[in-house]
Amino acid sequence: MKKKEIQRLIAKSFDGTLTASEKVFLDGWLLDSIENEKKYEEYTELWKKTESLALIEAINVESSLVATKKRINKNRTQRKVLFYAGRLAAVLILAIFLSFTLNYFVGDDVVGSAEKEIVYQEVRAAYGTKTKFVLNDSTVVWLNSGSTLRFPISFEGMDERKVALEGEAYFEVTKNVNKPFIVDTKKLDVKVYGTSFNVNAYDDYNSLLVVLVEGKVSLLQDGNDGQKEVMVLRPNDVVSYDVDSEILRRSRDSRLEKYTAWKEGSILFYNDPIDAVIKRLEKWYNIEIQIEDAALKEYRFTATFNNESLEQVLELLSLSSAMDYEIVMSENQSNDDSGKRKILLRTKNN
Protein backbone atom coordinates (compact mmCIF):
# COMPACT_ATOMS: atom_id res chain seq x y z
CA MET A 1 0.00 0.00 0.00
CA LYS A 2 1.11 3.56 -0.65
CA LYS A 3 2.48 5.69 2.18
CA LYS A 4 -0.44 8.13 2.07
CA GLU A 5 -2.97 5.31 2.33
CA ILE A 6 -1.26 3.85 5.41
CA GLN A 7 -1.08 7.30 7.03
CA ARG A 8 -4.80 7.80 6.45
CA LEU A 9 -5.59 4.47 8.14
CA ILE A 10 -3.35 5.34 11.10
CA ALA A 11 -5.18 8.65 11.54
CA LYS A 12 -8.55 6.87 11.41
CA SER A 13 -7.41 4.32 14.02
CA PHE A 14 -6.96 7.10 16.58
CA ASP A 15 -10.53 8.36 16.38
CA GLY A 16 -12.10 4.89 16.10
CA THR A 17 -13.49 5.26 12.56
CA LEU A 18 -11.67 2.31 10.97
CA THR A 19 -13.89 -0.16 9.11
CA ALA A 20 -13.35 -3.88 9.63
CA SER A 21 -11.56 -4.28 6.30
CA GLU A 22 -9.37 -1.22 6.94
CA LYS A 23 -8.37 -2.64 10.33
CA VAL A 24 -7.29 -5.89 8.65
CA PHE A 25 -5.03 -3.94 6.28
CA LEU A 26 -3.55 -1.84 9.07
CA ASP A 27 -2.87 -4.90 11.25
CA GLY A 28 -1.14 -6.56 8.30
CA TRP A 29 1.02 -3.48 7.76
CA LEU A 30 2.04 -3.46 11.43
CA LEU A 31 3.05 -7.11 11.27
CA ASP A 32 5.05 -6.56 8.10
CA SER A 33 8.12 -5.03 9.79
CA ILE A 34 9.55 -3.65 13.04
CA GLU A 35 9.98 -0.28 11.34
CA ASN A 36 6.24 -0.09 10.76
CA GLU A 37 5.57 -0.81 14.43
CA LYS A 38 8.00 1.94 15.50
CA LYS A 39 6.38 4.44 13.15
CA TYR A 40 2.94 3.61 14.54
CA GLU A 41 4.27 4.09 18.10
CA GLU A 42 5.53 7.56 17.13
CA TYR A 43 2.09 8.50 15.85
CA THR A 44 0.51 7.09 19.03
CA GLU A 45 2.79 9.15 21.31
CA LEU A 46 1.99 12.25 19.31
CA TRP A 47 -1.72 11.61 19.65
CA LYS A 48 -1.42 11.15 23.44
CA LYS A 49 0.47 14.44 23.75
CA THR A 50 -2.19 16.33 21.83
CA GLU A 51 -4.88 14.89 24.14
CA SER A 52 -2.87 16.05 27.19
CA LEU A 53 -2.53 19.49 25.66
CA ALA A 54 -6.28 19.70 25.25
CA LEU A 55 -6.78 18.94 28.97
CA ILE A 56 -4.11 21.43 30.11
CA GLU A 57 -5.48 24.20 27.96
CA ALA A 58 -8.99 23.65 29.30
CA ILE A 59 -7.79 23.81 32.93
CA ASN A 60 -5.71 26.91 32.36
CA VAL A 61 -8.54 28.74 30.69
CA GLU A 62 -11.00 27.91 33.45
CA SER A 63 -8.51 29.00 36.18
CA SER A 64 -7.85 32.26 34.41
CA LEU A 65 -11.53 32.95 34.13
CA VAL A 66 -12.04 32.38 37.88
CA ALA A 67 -9.18 34.73 38.74
CA THR A 68 -10.50 37.33 36.35
CA LYS A 69 -13.96 37.20 37.88
CA LYS A 70 -12.48 37.90 41.34
CA ARG A 71 -10.45 40.89 40.15
CA ILE A 72 -13.05 42.73 38.10
CA ASN A 73 -16.76 43.16 38.31
CA LYS A 74 -18.20 42.70 34.86
CA ASN A 75 -21.81 42.33 33.94
CA ARG A 76 -23.22 38.92 33.10
CA THR A 77 -23.07 39.40 29.37
CA GLN A 78 -19.40 40.41 29.47
CA ARG A 79 -18.54 37.34 31.57
CA LYS A 80 -20.25 35.04 29.04
CA VAL A 81 -18.31 36.64 26.20
CA LEU A 82 -15.03 36.21 28.10
CA PHE A 83 -15.87 32.59 28.96
CA TYR A 84 -16.60 31.59 25.39
CA ALA A 85 -13.63 33.57 24.13
CA GLY A 86 -11.39 31.62 26.49
CA ARG A 87 -12.83 28.28 25.35
CA LEU A 88 -12.39 29.34 21.74
CA ALA A 89 -8.75 30.28 22.39
CA ALA A 90 -8.07 26.83 23.81
CA VAL A 91 -9.67 25.16 20.79
CA LEU A 92 -7.69 27.33 18.38
CA ILE A 93 -4.40 26.61 20.17
CA LEU A 94 -5.13 22.87 20.04
CA ALA A 95 -6.12 23.04 16.36
CA ILE A 96 -2.94 24.91 15.45
CA PHE A 97 -0.81 22.42 17.38
CA LEU A 98 -2.52 19.44 15.76
CA SER A 99 -2.17 20.96 12.31
CA PHE A 100 1.54 21.61 12.78
CA THR A 101 2.41 18.21 14.25
CA LEU A 102 0.34 16.18 11.78
CA ASN A 103 1.76 18.12 8.85
CA TYR A 104 5.25 17.53 10.20
CA PHE A 105 4.77 13.77 10.45
CA VAL A 106 2.42 12.93 7.57
CA GLY A 107 2.31 15.98 5.29
CA ASP A 108 -0.26 18.60 4.32
CA ASP A 109 -1.89 16.44 1.68
CA VAL A 110 -2.89 13.72 4.15
CA VAL A 111 -4.60 16.11 6.57
CA GLY A 112 -6.35 18.02 3.83
CA SER A 113 -7.47 15.07 1.74
CA ALA A 114 -8.06 12.23 4.21
CA GLU A 115 -11.68 12.02 3.17
CA LYS A 116 -10.74 11.95 -0.53
CA GLU A 117 -8.17 9.18 -0.31
CA ILE A 118 -9.38 5.82 -1.67
CA VAL A 119 -7.52 2.67 -0.67
CA TYR A 120 -7.65 -0.09 -3.28
CA GLN A 121 -7.09 -3.81 -3.07
CA GLU A 122 -6.33 -6.20 -5.91
CA VAL A 123 -7.19 -9.90 -5.90
CA ARG A 124 -5.92 -12.34 -8.52
CA ALA A 125 -6.88 -15.98 -9.13
CA ALA A 126 -3.95 -18.16 -10.16
CA TYR A 127 -4.28 -20.29 -13.27
CA GLY A 128 -6.18 -23.49 -12.65
CA THR A 129 -7.91 -22.05 -9.58
CA LYS A 130 -10.91 -19.97 -8.63
CA THR A 131 -11.18 -17.46 -5.78
CA LYS A 132 -14.22 -16.37 -3.77
CA PHE A 133 -14.34 -13.29 -1.52
CA VAL A 134 -16.73 -10.64 -0.17
CA LEU A 135 -16.53 -6.89 -0.80
CA ASN A 136 -17.16 -4.16 1.77
CA ASP A 137 -20.85 -3.87 0.75
CA SER A 138 -21.39 -7.66 1.19
CA THR A 139 -21.27 -8.30 -2.57
CA VAL A 140 -19.92 -11.80 -3.24
CA VAL A 141 -17.36 -12.28 -6.02
CA TRP A 142 -15.94 -15.40 -7.67
CA LEU A 143 -12.80 -14.89 -9.79
CA ASN A 144 -11.94 -17.41 -12.49
CA SER A 145 -8.52 -18.69 -13.49
CA GLY A 146 -6.01 -15.98 -14.43
CA SER A 147 -8.40 -13.12 -13.54
CA THR A 148 -7.86 -9.94 -11.53
CA LEU A 149 -10.28 -7.63 -9.71
CA ARG A 150 -9.28 -4.20 -8.36
CA PHE A 151 -11.69 -2.55 -5.91
CA PRO A 152 -11.87 -0.02 -3.04
CA ILE A 153 -11.64 -1.63 0.39
CA SER A 154 -14.62 0.56 1.32
CA PHE A 155 -17.40 2.17 -0.74
CA GLU A 156 -18.24 4.67 2.01
CA GLY A 157 -18.54 8.25 0.78
CA MET A 158 -18.66 7.16 -2.87
CA ASP A 159 -21.49 7.80 -5.33
CA GLU A 160 -21.00 4.43 -7.00
CA ARG A 161 -19.44 1.06 -6.27
CA LYS A 162 -16.95 0.71 -9.11
CA VAL A 163 -14.56 -2.22 -9.58
CA ALA A 164 -12.13 -3.00 -12.42
CA LEU A 165 -12.09 -6.50 -13.93
CA GLU A 166 -9.57 -8.21 -16.16
CA GLY A 167 -10.68 -11.75 -16.88
CA GLU A 168 -13.83 -13.56 -15.77
CA ALA A 169 -15.91 -13.09 -12.62
CA TYR A 170 -19.30 -13.98 -11.24
CA PHE A 171 -21.00 -11.38 -9.03
CA GLU A 172 -23.83 -11.57 -6.51
CA VAL A 173 -24.31 -7.84 -5.93
CA THR A 174 -25.92 -6.47 -2.76
CA LYS A 175 -28.85 -4.27 -3.75
CA ASN A 176 -28.47 -0.51 -3.28
CA VAL A 177 -30.68 1.63 -5.54
CA ASN A 178 -28.83 4.80 -4.48
CA LYS A 179 -25.35 3.49 -5.22
CA PRO A 180 -25.04 1.48 -8.45
CA PHE A 181 -22.44 -1.26 -8.81
CA ILE A 182 -20.27 -0.89 -11.93
CA VAL A 183 -17.86 -3.45 -13.38
CA ASP A 184 -15.26 -1.57 -15.42
CA THR A 185 -13.65 -3.53 -18.28
CA LYS A 186 -11.49 -2.33 -21.15
CA LYS A 187 -14.33 -3.09 -23.57
CA LEU A 188 -17.64 -2.07 -21.93
CA ASP A 189 -18.86 -1.25 -18.43
CA VAL A 190 -21.58 -3.27 -16.71
CA LYS A 191 -23.93 -1.33 -14.40
CA VAL A 192 -26.22 -3.00 -11.86
CA TYR A 193 -28.06 -2.19 -8.63
CA GLY A 194 -28.45 -5.67 -7.18
CA THR A 195 -28.27 -8.85 -9.25
CA SER A 196 -26.33 -11.99 -10.18
CA PHE A 197 -24.35 -12.13 -13.42
CA ASN A 198 -21.18 -13.40 -15.10
CA VAL A 199 -18.67 -11.27 -17.01
CA ASN A 200 -15.99 -12.73 -19.29
CA ALA A 201 -13.57 -9.95 -20.30
CA TYR A 202 -10.05 -11.32 -20.66
CA ASP A 203 -7.75 -8.70 -22.18
CA ASP A 204 -6.45 -11.08 -24.83
CA TYR A 205 -9.98 -11.92 -26.01
CA ASN A 206 -11.44 -9.86 -28.82
CA SER A 207 -14.87 -9.99 -27.24
CA LEU A 208 -16.84 -9.46 -24.04
CA LEU A 209 -19.49 -11.88 -22.77
CA VAL A 210 -22.11 -10.94 -20.16
CA VAL A 211 -24.59 -13.50 -18.80
CA LEU A 212 -27.45 -12.34 -16.58
CA VAL A 213 -28.78 -14.87 -14.08
CA GLU A 214 -31.21 -12.60 -12.20
CA GLY A 215 -31.97 -8.91 -11.77
CA LYS A 216 -31.21 -6.16 -14.28
CA VAL A 217 -27.99 -5.14 -16.02
CA SER A 218 -27.11 -2.20 -18.27
CA LEU A 219 -24.16 -2.11 -20.65
CA LEU A 220 -22.38 1.24 -20.87
CA GLN A 221 -20.06 2.47 -23.63
CA ASP A 222 -17.74 5.48 -23.59
CA GLY A 223 -18.58 8.23 -26.05
CA ASN A 224 -17.74 11.85 -26.84
CA ASP A 225 -20.39 13.02 -24.37
CA GLY A 226 -19.50 10.54 -21.65
CA GLN A 227 -20.93 7.08 -21.09
CA LYS A 228 -24.17 6.02 -22.73
CA GLU A 229 -26.40 3.03 -22.15
CA VAL A 230 -26.28 0.71 -25.16
CA MET A 231 -28.32 -2.26 -23.92
CA VAL A 232 -30.41 -3.47 -20.98
CA LEU A 233 -30.30 -7.20 -20.16
CA ARG A 234 -33.02 -9.44 -18.81
CA PRO A 235 -32.54 -12.73 -16.91
CA ASN A 236 -31.23 -15.56 -19.15
CA ASP A 237 -29.79 -13.03 -21.62
CA VAL A 238 -26.36 -13.86 -23.05
CA VAL A 239 -24.78 -10.84 -24.71
CA SER A 240 -21.49 -10.81 -26.62
CA TYR A 241 -19.66 -7.70 -27.78
CA ASP A 242 -17.19 -7.84 -30.66
CA VAL A 243 -14.46 -5.24 -30.16
CA ASP A 244 -13.45 -4.89 -33.83
CA SER A 245 -16.94 -4.48 -35.26
CA GLU A 246 -18.41 -2.92 -32.07
CA ILE A 247 -21.47 -5.14 -32.57
CA LEU A 248 -23.59 -6.42 -29.68
CA ARG A 249 -25.35 -9.76 -30.08
CA ARG A 250 -28.05 -10.95 -27.70
CA SER A 251 -29.32 -14.50 -27.29
CA ARG A 252 -31.49 -16.35 -24.78
CA ASP A 253 -30.26 -19.45 -22.98
CA SER A 254 -32.00 -21.31 -20.16
CA ARG A 255 -28.90 -23.44 -19.48
CA LEU A 256 -26.80 -20.73 -17.88
CA GLU A 257 -24.76 -23.27 -15.91
CA LYS A 258 -22.71 -23.61 -19.10
CA TYR A 259 -21.35 -20.13 -18.37
CA THR A 260 -21.29 -20.22 -14.56
CA ALA A 261 -20.34 -23.80 -13.59
CA TRP A 262 -16.67 -22.80 -13.39
CA LYS A 263 -17.29 -21.22 -9.99
CA GLU A 264 -18.18 -24.69 -8.72
CA GLY A 265 -15.03 -26.18 -10.27
CA SER A 266 -16.68 -27.61 -13.41
CA ILE A 267 -16.20 -27.01 -17.14
CA LEU A 268 -19.31 -27.54 -19.29
CA PHE A 269 -19.69 -27.65 -23.06
CA TYR A 270 -23.04 -27.88 -24.86
CA ASN A 271 -22.57 -28.44 -28.60
CA ASP A 272 -19.79 -25.83 -28.53
CA PRO A 273 -17.42 -25.23 -31.47
CA ILE A 274 -13.81 -26.17 -30.96
CA ASP A 275 -12.78 -22.49 -30.78
CA ALA A 276 -14.92 -22.02 -27.63
CA VAL A 277 -13.52 -25.23 -26.13
CA ILE A 278 -9.95 -24.09 -26.78
CA LYS A 279 -10.50 -20.69 -25.16
CA ARG A 280 -11.88 -22.25 -21.99
CA LEU A 281 -9.15 -24.86 -21.69
CA GLU A 282 -6.34 -22.39 -22.39
CA LYS A 283 -7.40 -20.13 -19.53
CA TRP A 284 -8.15 -22.89 -17.05
CA TYR A 285 -4.93 -24.86 -17.59
CA ASN A 286 -2.67 -21.95 -18.68
CA ILE A 287 -1.75 -23.64 -21.96
CA GLU A 288 -1.55 -22.76 -25.63
CA ILE A 289 -3.59 -24.86 -28.07
CA GLN A 290 -2.88 -24.91 -31.79
CA ILE A 291 -5.12 -26.50 -34.46
CA GLU A 292 -3.00 -28.37 -36.98
CA ASP A 293 -5.90 -29.54 -39.17
CA ALA A 294 -8.56 -27.10 -40.43
CA ALA A 295 -11.11 -29.93 -40.51
CA LEU A 296 -11.25 -29.79 -36.70
CA LYS A 297 -12.93 -26.39 -36.87
CA GLU A 298 -16.12 -28.15 -37.90
CA TYR A 299 -16.19 -30.20 -34.71
CA ARG A 300 -18.58 -29.45 -31.83
CA PHE A 301 -18.39 -30.84 -28.31
CA THR A 302 -20.74 -31.64 -25.43
CA ALA A 303 -19.02 -32.61 -22.20
CA THR A 304 -18.76 -31.98 -18.45
CA PHE A 305 -15.45 -32.01 -16.60
CA ASN A 306 -15.00 -31.91 -12.83
CA ASN A 307 -11.45 -31.41 -11.55
CA GLU A 308 -9.89 -33.58 -14.27
CA SER A 309 -6.26 -33.03 -15.23
CA LEU A 310 -5.39 -31.58 -18.63
CA GLU A 311 -4.28 -34.98 -19.88
CA GLN A 312 -7.58 -36.56 -18.77
CA VAL A 313 -9.61 -33.84 -20.51
CA LEU A 314 -7.66 -34.20 -23.77
CA GLU A 315 -7.96 -37.98 -23.65
CA LEU A 316 -11.74 -37.86 -23.13
CA LEU A 317 -12.17 -35.37 -25.98
CA SER A 318 -10.04 -37.58 -28.18
CA LEU A 319 -12.06 -40.70 -27.33
CA SER A 320 -15.34 -38.94 -28.20
CA SER A 321 -14.17 -37.64 -31.58
CA ALA A 322 -11.72 -38.14 -34.43
CA MET A 323 -9.35 -35.68 -32.80
CA ASP A 324 -5.86 -36.52 -31.65
CA TYR A 325 -3.48 -34.41 -29.61
CA GLU A 326 0.21 -33.96 -28.78
CA ILE A 327 1.71 -32.13 -25.79
CA VAL A 328 4.95 -30.36 -26.67
CA MET A 329 7.32 -27.93 -24.98
CA SER A 330 7.89 -24.46 -26.42
CA GLU A 331 11.36 -23.62 -27.77
CA ASN A 332 12.33 -21.47 -24.78
CA GLN A 333 11.00 -23.90 -22.22
CA SER A 334 12.45 -26.86 -20.35
CA ASN A 335 10.68 -29.62 -18.44
CA ASP A 336 11.25 -27.72 -15.19
CA ASP A 337 9.71 -24.47 -16.40
CA SER A 338 6.36 -23.32 -15.02
CA GLY A 339 5.40 -21.55 -18.27
CA LYS A 340 2.76 -22.59 -20.78
CA ARG A 341 2.69 -25.98 -22.40
CA LYS A 342 1.69 -26.22 -26.04
CA ILE A 343 -0.98 -28.62 -27.30
CA LEU A 344 -1.21 -29.60 -30.99
CA LEU A 345 -4.60 -30.83 -32.21
CA ARG A 346 -5.04 -32.83 -35.42
CA THR A 347 -7.34 -35.46 -36.89
CA LYS A 348 -6.46 -39.07 -36.14
CA ASN A 349 -6.01 -40.06 -39.76
CA ASN A 350 -3.11 -37.58 -40.24
The per-residue pLDDT for 71 is 47
CA of residue 338 relative to chain centroid, distance: 27
Where do the structural domains in the chain lie, given as residue ranges? 3-113, 120-256, 265-347
The count of other CB atoms within 10 Å of the CB of residue 188 is 24
Closest CA to 13 of 23, 25, 5: 23
Give residues with Cβ within 8 angstroms of 229, minimum separation 6.
Answer: 191, 218, 219, 220
SS3 of the chain: the string is CCHHHHHHHHHHHHCCCCCHHHHHHHHHHHHHCHHHHHHHHHHHHHHHHHHHHHHHHHHHHHHHHHHHHHHCCCCHHHHHHHHHHHHHHHHHHHHHHHHHHHHHHHCHHHHHHCCCCCCEEEEECCCCCCEEEECCCCCEEEECCCCEEEEECCCCCCCCEEEEEEEEEEEECCCCCCCCEEEECCCCEEEECCCEEEEEECCCCCEEEEEEEECCEEEEEEECCEEEEEEEECCCEEEEEECCCCEEEEEECCCCHHHHHHHHCEEEEEEEEHHHHHHHHHHHHCEEEEECCHHHHHCEEEEEEECCCHHHHHHHHHHCCCEEEEEECCCCCCCCCCCCEEEEEEECCC
pLDDT 10s digits, 47-83: 766 554 444 333 343 444 444 445 444 444 444 444 4
Q: Give whichever of 5-9, 39-43, 314-318 has the largest mean pLDDT.
A: 314-318
> What would you report as the CA-atom Rg of the chain, rounded to the nearest whole angstrom?
30
Q: Decide which of 30 and 276 is more confident.
A: 276
Q: pLDDT per residue over 233-273, tens digit each?
A: 999 999 999 988 989 999 998 889 989 999 998 989 888 89
Closest to 234 in 3D by CA, of 257, 255, 250? 250
289 touches 283 (CB < 8 A): no
Domain 265-347 is found in CATH 3.40.1190.20: no
Contacts of 149 (CB under 8 A, 6+ apart): 122, 123, 124, 141, 143, 163, 164, 165, 166, 169
246: left (phi over 0), alpha (psi -120 to 50) or beta: left
CA distance 175 to 139: 9
Rounded-to-integer distance, Cα 345 and Cα 180, Å? 45
Q: How many CB atoms lie within 10 A of CB 2?
A: 10
Which carries the bigger pLDDT value, residue 348 or residue 7? 348
Choose among 326, 307, 299: nearest CA to 315: 326
What is the rounded CA–CA span in Å between residue 3 and residue 119?
A: 11
**Mean pLDDT, all residues of the chain:** 78
Q: Tell me: the pLDDT tens digits for 308-345?
A: 888 999 888 888 888 889 988 765 544 444 467 899 99
Is residue 214 within 8 A of residue 230, CB to CB? The reply is no
How many degrees, rounded to 5, is the angle at CA 239 between CA 130 and CA 134?
30
Q: Which of 204, 190, 73 is nearest to 146 (CA)?
A: 204
pTM greater than 0.85:
no
Domain covering 120-256, topology: Jelly Rolls (2.60.120)
Q: Between helices 34-71 and 20-32, what is the axis angle to 10°?
A: 120
Please tell me if the domain spanning 120-256 has the same topology as the one spanning 265-347. no
How does residue 231 score in pLDDT terms, banded at 50, 70 and 90?
A: very high
